[in-house]
Structure 1
Amino acid sequence: MALQKNLGLSERMAVTLTVGFYMVTALVMVSVNKWALNTLQLPWLLLWCQMLVAVVLLKATEWFGLLKMPEIRSDVSKALTPLIAINVLGLGVNTLCLVYVDTSFYQIARGLVLPFTVVFAYMLLGQPSSKLVLGACFIVFCGFYTGVTSEINVSHLGIFFGIVSSVTTSLHAIVIKKSLAVVNNSSIDLVYYNNLLSLIVTTPLVFLSGESAQLQAQFMSDVAGSGDALRQFFFAALVTGIFGFLVNLAGFLQISKTSPTTHMVSGAVRGVLQTLLGYFAFNDIITAGRLTGIFLILSGGALYTWAKDKEMQAKANNQAAYIPMTQQDVNNDDLDDDHPEKRTNKD
């Protein structure tokens, strides 16, 4: 808010820039992650490095006097436990999904975000959905089914991670919105807590997954060789760490500035760009079934957005036209006093 006022940005311009910032950073992050995983398949270690770089960058902004990081409090950390759990699980399955599927198929594998969002909105927030919204969810499901069944050599494990990723993505937006209240609606504080606590939680996973032993073996082989793999790993860790920090910050800013629905819609648009990027940058094969699946998923998302926009407009009109009964009675009594001939028998 302070930055918005200092730059003289309107609310609409601030929202537009926030959404654009998220889409660009998220798109670059997926591409860099895919490149890093093609170089070294150490997903948990790369995630750990991303969080470490993010924490260092946040502390660097404090050292230079740009931002103020919060003091870690046990009560706040405990209240943020759901966010940390969903964040670590979500980052893990997102990365593992990228390991097993193409960049262009990533959108389809994670195509059930919208149906899960509607389900969780009803289960956790008590928000029922209209028939039109349910129809949009059905179209998205058809797109997911079409895209998955049309692939011959698709990885079932990649699809499984994509479904779990859809669940965590749906929950993540809702949990972030609730978690902001814990840190007095400070996006920076939430980003710092999220990265630091996720770094701590991820540390044992690096050893339990066996990736630390793999890295050690790679180091030993590099001693006798040129050391290319070692340099590639640290370069990939640094690049993904920087963009991981940016996409993390962008995601929190977008959700705090807009809504979980906008977050989901911008993610869908990002999916189209990811498909094109996968085709041109990674030489992914774009089949007719894959295109049909993506088209249906995006069409369902567009229908959902239109339906929710209509619902919000109708709600706003109803609120504007509504007059509380007590005030209406007061107005009627004033009218009767000024015009006795217009009095009605209220018995």
Structure 2
Amino acid sequence: MYSPLETQKESLVKKYIRILLVVSAYWIISITTVFVNKELFDGKHVKLNATLFVTWFQCIVSSTICVVTTFLSHKFPRVVPLNMPQAHPFKAETIKNVIPLSILFTTMIATNNLCLRYVSVAFYYVGRSLTTIFNVLLSYIFLRERQSAKSIICCIVIIAGFLLGVDQESLTETFSLIGTIFGVIGSLALSMFSIYTKKTLPHVNGEVWLLSYYNNVYSIFLFLPLIVISGEVNTVMNYEHIGEMWFWGTMLIGGICGFLIGYATSLQIKVTSPLTHNISGTAKACFQTVLATSWFNEAKSFLWWLSNIVVLLGSFAYARVKQVEMAMRHRETSSIQKH
């Protein structure tokens, strides 16, 4: 017989093992997705100059996986015990409530992928590092949330690291101004998407996966005019490998990765916390940068590396400051409730 203390220790060990496995899965899936997408957008083997088309196809794959999973979960609940909610993406009320968020979702993934197409994988994190800054600005504009002096200092550090990174990257052959601009727009879109997600979730009964499914379905239609306007239709029609199985296999892998990263992100937040997820994402970005420079044999200057370190330290510091502030608010609220 196990004592209560031993049982508690065993439970904690299982909990930490689960967290370790989920975080590891998130790292592996996220890094794999970035490298696979880089090959699809700007690779030496695929050579398809149609980023929006590839992103559109990934939305189709994600939507299809959601539909199949929902069907299986209801048809074979013992085999697929996910209890997926029924979706009604073409109801007028659903479209009205979700389409503004889906427009932001389409903008976010399009600009993020266009950023990845034009910049190197190593610079990708720095190019999109202003998300925290936009979160702070938009939270103040829309929610009137004021930031502490420590939080503002952390934001200044992140901005300094970003500017230094852009300056140093501009000295390399891989620098792309348009890619950096897409990264900034992607950071802004991600921040706005996060805020509007909170407003939209009540319309889908708080079901994150149902909202994700709707976003992917609506993005399929939202991407179509963008693909036509950008001229990617002719690019795809004249692509030399359009009928080859290896190409569609690679596209399918990219689509599956796109679906899995959404699942892994939600799962990591569920077993840890949003703050821990941000810290994990920042640490992952650091490892991804080191891995990319090694994989692509890129030699970087001391100041280039310093810019990455500054951005990472600023991001870590901001996460820690918010963690402490949230703990203080919780203690104050608990103290008020007791009295």
TM bucket by the smaller chain? 0.7 to 0.9
Compare 119-128 and 85-94 and name the one that shifted more: 119-128
- What secondary structure sits across from 1:286 in the alignment? coil
Structure 1 residues 179 and 257: CA distance shift in structure 2, 3 A: farther
Give the distance between the partners of 1:145 and 1:323, measured in 2 at CA.
45
Matched AA of 2:110: G
Residue 57 (structure 1) aligns with: 65
Kindly indicate whether the alpha-carbon contact (under 8 Å) linking 2:115 and 2:124 is maintained by their aligned counterparts in 1. Answer: yes
Distance 1:90 1:76, change over 3 A: same
Counterpart of 2:225 in structure 1 is 204
| 2:88–2:94 contact (8 Å) kept in structure 1 | no
Checking the alignment, whether the CA contact within 8 Å between 2:161 and 2:310 is kept in structure 1 is yes
- The answer as to 2:62 corresponding to 1:45 is no
Determine whether 1:29 maps to 2:1.
no
Q: Sequence identity, in percent? A: 29
* Structure 1 counterpart of 2:166: 148
- Normalised by the length of structure 2, the TM-score is 0.83
**Aligned CA distance change for structure 1 residues 122 and 21 (closer, same or farther; 3 Å):** farther
Question: Counterparts of 2:201 and 2:29 in 1: how far apart (Å)?
Answer: 21
3-state SS, counterpart of residue 279 of structure 1: helix
Question: For residues 246 and 234 of structure 1, what CA distance do their matches in structure 2 show?
Answer: 18
Gaps (5+ residues) in structure 2?
1-10
Structure 2 residue corresponding to 1:113, chosen from 128, 131, 135: 131
Q: Decide whether the 8 Å contact of 1:109 with 1:162 is kept in 2.
A: yes
Q: 1:204-234, CA deviations, whole angstroms, 9 ceiling, x for partnerless residues? A: 222222111111112xxx4xxxx58844431
Distance 1:15 1:180 in 2: 26
* The 10-residue stretch of structure 1 (130-139 or 290-299) with the greater mean CA deviation from structure 2: 290-299
Alpha-carbon contact 1:176-1:252 (below 8 Å) kept:
no
Contact conserved, 1:93 with 1:165, CA < 8 A, in 2?
yes
Q: Where in structure 1 are there 5+ consecutive unaligned residues?
A: 1-7, 329-347
Q: Given the superposition, is the C-alpha separation of residues 323 and 61 from structure 1 closer, same or farther in structure 2, using an over 3 Å criterion?
A: closer
Q: Which amino acid aligns with 1:271?
A: A
**Is 2:218 aligned against 1:176?**
no
> In 1, Cα distance between the equivalents of 2:161 and 2:224?
37
Change (3 A) 1:321 1:104: same
Partner of 2:313: 299
Deviates more, 1:12-21 or 1:298-307: 12-21
- Find the counterpart in structure 1 of residue 326 from structure 2: 312
Say if 2:215 is the partner of 1:194: yes
Write the distance in 1 (CA, Å) between the matches of 2:16 and 2:139. Answer: 26
Aligned to 2:160, the other structure's residue is in SS state helix
Q: How far 1:60 sits from its partner (Å)? A: 1.6
Deviation at 1:261, TM superposition (A): 4.3
Alignment partner, residue 289 of structure 1 = 303
**Paired residues of 1:69 and 1:192 also in contact (CA < 8 A):** no
**More deviation in 105-114 or 261-270?**
261-270
* C-alpha distance 208-256 of structure 1, shift in aligned 2 (>3 A): farther
How many residues in Structure 1 have an aligned counterpart in Structure 2? 311
Residue type of the partner of 1:132? K
Q: Are residue 77 (structure 1) and residue 91 (structure 2) matched?
A: no
Stretch of structure 1 that moved more, 310-319 or 295-304: 310-319
Give the Cα–Cα distance (whole angstroms) in 2 for the partners of residues 200 and 254 of structure 1.
30
Aligned to 1:340: none
* DSSP 3-state at the match of 1:145: helix
What are the superposed Cα offsets for residues 140-183 of structure 1, whole Å, 9 maximum, x if unpaired?
01110111111213211111111111111222223323322221
C-alpha RMSD of matched pairs (Å): 2.6
Measure the CA separation in 1 of the matches of 2:189 and 2:24: 22
CA deviations 1:213-266 (Å, max 9, x no partner) are: 111112xxx4xxxx5884443122111100011112333455577665444333
C-alpha spacing 1:99/1:229, structure 2 compared with 1 (3 Å): farther
2:335 is matched with which residue: 316, 321, 327? 321
SS at match of 1:71: coil
> Could you tell me how far 1:111 is from its partner in structure 2?
1.5
Structure with max Cα Rg: 1
Q: Distance in 2 between matches of 1:83 and 1:284?
A: 38
SS in 2 for 1:150: helix
Specify the code of the residue in structure 2 equivalent to 1:125.
Answer: L
- TM-score, normalised to structure 1, is 0.81
Rounded to whole Å, the distance in 2 between the matches of 1:80 and 1:228 is 34
For 1:268-287, list aligned pairs within 5 A.
268-287=282-301
For residues 105-125 of structure 1, the C-alpha deviation after alignment (integer angstroms, 9 at most, x for no partner) is 111111211111111121122
